[in-house]
Structure 1
Amino acid sequence: MPGTVLLFGHADSADTVNQFLRDLAQGFRDLEQPCLLTMLDGRTPLALDPAVIRQSGSFAVDINAKIDTGDFPKLSLIVDHPVSHPRLLAPGARTVLGLIDREHCRIGDYLRAPAVFIPHGGPPPDVIAASPRDIDVLFVGNLLGEAIPRTPMEARAVEIGRGIALSCTDPFSAVLAEFGRLDPLEIKPLLDLATNESQRLARLAALRSIRAARIHVVGYVPDDLVEQMPDGAILHGFDRSFFQGRDLMHRAKVVINVTQKFPAGSHERIWYGMAAGCAVVTNRSSFLAEDFVHGESILFYDDPRQVGDLVEIALGGDQARAMAAAALPAYEAGHTWTERAERIMVAMIGRT
């Protein structure tokens, strides 16, 4: 009997990551790999079926190492920088980390388990031909409030974030360059502050640069920043469910991604946008550049203030539709959750 992949989500997690697991489970099914997805909560303790444990090739998958599977092998998808998750200091005896940026696999001293590159993925293409595409631009993401440092080191971390916000500089690299190698628990708050501040300012700069477009924003926007949104912007607020943003993608011509913390990886909104038939404007990524060509199948920015100009290019004539169509073959061939399921199978049992 073939092994079974046991996927574990958690009711307390944002539905974004639980949706990853649902789509990843479908990816395993597409490979004809037996799998079982379980959503845990505070009332549902983890229980591993002894019959499954005995099957050769069985293993578990969870998000951010939340589930302790003891000696049972597990791949944990880490959907942020691994330094941001202190629980990874004790990830489990037979855990493999699936990291979403290639450079994260090379941070050596900060990893306590073997690591493989498993970037975010997306669903099968779901382009609705009859969709009205009445939204010019869709931005999905939160705009955080200004960070308040408590110590001189934290103040310096915030300054680092401000200094790299208008570039595609990796916050982790910038923090290391300033502070050197610190203990993981020391570097975590500094990295979080630098990342949040750079992302806050980059997203604000990107949105401010957009002119004369029907734009929808899905995510938290502080009251003091509402007036700085583009004229006529429709603000949907924070979407814990993930489905609102995904549904709006079927109405959008262009999806914007502003997440410079993955310069050698990707973010799920890129893939879900492509799957829905959107053109994508995003910060430059060496991983994305392997399969997508700037100006043909994607639009890369090096400074978030360039986003407005890139949006105008995409909205010119039929460019958004043409760019989305050009991206779809490479996306479908190499960036769905089915492809990520194949990567996981190779990492865990050496084959698909």
Structure 2
Amino acid sequence: MRILNCIPDVSTGSVRRMGLDIGYAFETVSDEVRTFLFTPNTPAPGHLKALFRWLCDGTKPGLLVDINGQIVTSSHGIAALNGADGKMRGFTFLTDNPSYYPSRFARWPRNCLVGTVDRSFSGAAGYLLFNKPRYVFFPHGGPPDRRDTHPLVERDIDFLFIGNVAETHKPKQHADAIFPDEPQRRDLFLRSLEQLDQRRAFLEHTLLVARETPKRFQRKDIPLVANALEAYVNARQRARALALLEGLPVTVVGRISHPTLGSQASFDTLGFVPFDDCQKLLERSKVLVNVRPGFPTGGHERIFYALAHGCGVCTSRSELLEPDRQSHGHLEFHADDLSDLRETVLDLRDRVSSSGANPLAMFDHYEKHHTWSRRLRPVMEALMDPPQN
């Protein structure tokens, strides 16, 4: 099978790195993989058409791969997939909440599979955004493990905190600011925040609250409110996490909008660091602190890249990661309200860097369950006989 892996050429974020690593995983199932790095919003249509012809000229149907639908939902991608007469199939990896991309999925090509990073995303997205695609659970993953990296006891970063922290206000003030002339959306935001259930993804939770509210909401209201809720909760939780970690030796990476956060004497605050450079920090770190609710049955990409580098990980609760928590001791969940965060990260650091730690068990579990090569198996199975939609 010929595979064309289309990756936005933005070097600072995680998408480019993940796209390249997914491409390396595809090379384990095909010896005809081409990578197309493109500038977002200007994907060189002439070059694309030549690559589409190459995809269709193989002995088996070719596979067009992209991230967040940037190519498969473009006019060129839709025309190619719809006009390929079965000679081309598509797969797009949604790296986050599908409510971030409603306009991109107003139309959908035939023979295209969507990978979602949380099990709940397919149902909520199907109701709110687009019903035609077929979905497969495709959680974030990581590269082959780096078990030859430095032992944890030799690493100089005790705690690595990665995440932007936007400034927030009290709930009503914040709702008034983001929905100043939209009382229904403002009301749904406040209701969803008041009834917050972190066992559900934000899109699913907001949809359920809207259904139980006497007021009628337009379908387009739900993703907008869910996105605002997700941003607010993430910012508040990360701000609280940094406050709770005060006094510990923490290296802080990310844009911090709060004037007093990140400046504690015990913190080494680096500001924004490109994702590829964060890999070098992971090589030096004992524990990654990853406060990122929103994937209750999935997992954020930093978790898996940290495990690949042998780090301990303290993160938000996830059904997908419960076997990791129980099996190898390198992963722990913090409480939803973060009340145990400080104690949890200290215990985790001491455990994973002790002489009795068994990193090989963690690496073996990671290789078996979480690499991008492992993630591709259900995708390739689902692509064997895609429906005509």
Indicate whether the TM-score tops 0.5: yes
CA distance in 2, matches of 1:175, 1:291: 29
Secondary structure of the equivalent of 2:27?
helix
CA contact (8 A) 2:121 2:204 kept: no
Q: What's the offset of the Cα at 1:35? A: 1.1
Specify the SS of the correspondent of 2:110.
coil
> Equivalent residue for 2:84?
none
Classify the secondary structure of the residue corresponding to 2:315. Answer: strand
Question: In the alignment, what sits opposite 2:155?
Answer: 133
Alpha-carbon offset, residue 223 of structure 1: 4.5
Alignment TM-score, normalising by the size of structure 2: 0.81
Taking the TM superposition and a 5 Å limit, the aligned residue runs for 1:119-268 are 119-127=139-147, 128-129=149-150, 132-146=154-168, 147=174, 148-150=177-179, 151-160=182-191, 162-163=193-194, 169-180=200-211, 183-226=218-261, 230-239=264-273, 241-268=274-301
Name the larger-Rg structure. 2
Distance verdict in 2 for CA 1:216–1:325, change over 3 Å: farther
Q: C-alpha separation between the residues in 2 aligned to 1:168 and 1:76?
A: 26
Q: Which residue of 1 aligns with 2:326?
A: 293
Q: Which residue of 2 aligns with 1:98?
A: 115
Task: Using structure 1 for the length normalisation, give the TM-score.
Answer: 0.89
- Identity rate, percent: 25
> Of residues 17, 25, 31 in structure 2, which corresponds to 1:19?
17
Structure 1: runs of 5 or more not aligned: none
1:84 and 2:100 correspond? yes
Deviations 1:274-331 (A, max 9, x none): 0111001011111111444188241012322322110111122655782754422111
| 1:270 lines up with 2:303 in the alignment | yes
Does the 8 Å CA contact 1:144/1:222 hold for their aligned counterparts?
Answer: yes
Whole-Å separation in 1 of the counterparts to 2:17 and 2:316: 24
Once structures 1 and 2 are overlaid, which stretch shifts more, 259-268 or 318-327?
Answer: 318-327
Equivalent residue, structure 2, for 1:74 = 90
Alignment check: 8 A CA contact 1:202 1:258 kept: yes
**What corresponds to 2:68 in structure 1?**
64
> Is the alpha carbon distance of 1:163 and 1:216 closer, same or farther for their aligned partners in structure 2, counting shifts above 3 Å?
farther
Distance 1:102 1:166 in 2: 16
Further displaced range: 113-122 or 299-308: 299-308
SS in 1 for 2:187: helix
Please give the alpha-carbon distance, in whole angstroms, between the structure 2 residues aligned to 1:302 and 1:10.
36
Q: How many residues align?
A: 347
Structure 2: gaps (5+ residues): 82-87, 169-173
1:210 and 1:309 in contact (8 A); partners too:
no
For 1:215 and 1:166, the matched residues in 2 are separated by 29
- Looking at structure 2, the residues matched to 330 and 13 of structure 1 have their Cα atoms a distance apart, in angstroms, of 30
- CA-based RMSD of the aligned residues comes to 2.7
Deviations 1:232-267 (A, max 9, x none): 21121123x311211100010001121211100011
Provide the C-alpha distance between the structure 2 equivalents of 1:35 and 1:145, rounded to a whole number of angstroms: 43
Judge conservation of contact 2:244–2:342 (CA < 8 Å) in 1. yes
Listed one character per residue, the Cα deviations across residues 164-189 of structure 1 (whole Å, up to 9, x for unaligned) are 67955532233123222955422121
